[in-house]
Amino acid sequence: METDIERILFHAAAIQARVDELAAEITRDYAGKELTVVAVLTGALMFTADLLRRIPLPLKLDCVSVASYHGGTETSGEVQFDQISLPDIEGRHVLVVDDILDSGLTLDAITRKFYQHCGPQSVRLCTLLSKRRVRIKDVEAQYIGFEIEDEFVVGYGMDYQERYRNLPFVGVLKPQRTQEEI
């Protein structure tokens, strides 16, 4: 799998150091508040697990399963919610944790759905990565691990056709790998 990577953007040590910094910010900002962390499956799973182990606050954890890429390297433009019920977040401060802020479609859809149907006190966003690009939806994360160029990345939970999630780093997939049948 590593031979499919054009270059590594962030090694495991750099990711873990940044996760430490994000956890310290979140801990400070949510001290004394009723916090629910909502992980966006499946890409944010590893990031969320590492992040939560570093936040020494009482909190609830829930997940939402949404899809907008549907196996490709670009968003389909349609966000599908794949679970039957939404998290119980009424009156709580919510931190949505996702792997990457790209077009803004997914995080915008989640935020709108939470406010329309769940009654949270607040919703903030935390992403491991944020692409430098014009977004389809005007969404900004309050907590960002790293900013990257507009490239297709894999590793540390992020995938291409359900592969590469288990790489311990974030890297750019060789362009020919996204054009071949894996």
How is the chain split into domains, by residue range? 18-151
Question: 51 burial class (0-12, 13-18, 19+ CB within 10 angstroms)?
Answer: buried
Global confidence as pTM:
0.90
Mean pLDDT of the chain: 91
| Percent of the chain clearing pLDDT 90 (strictly above) | 79
Rg (CA), the chain: 16
Model pLDDT, residue 175: 82
pLDDT surpassing 70 at residue 178: no
99 is catalytic: no
pLDDT (mean) for 84-96? 93
Q: Determine the topology of domain 18-151 in CATH.
A: Rossmann fold (3.40.50)
pLDDT surpassing 50 at residue 182: no
pLDDT digits (tens, 9 = 90+) for 11-33: 999 999 999 999 999 999 999 99
> What is the distance between the alpha carbons of residues 127 and 110, in angstroms, rounded to a whole number?
14
Catalytically annotated residue among 50, 98, 99, 102: 102
Nearest to 81 by CA among 50, 51, 133, 116: 116
CA end-to-end distance (rounded Å), the chain: 11
| Percent of the chain clearing pLDDT 70 (strictly above) | 91
pLDDT digits (tens, 9 = 90+) for 113-165: 999 999 999 999 999 999 999 999 999 999 999 999 999 999 999 999 899 99
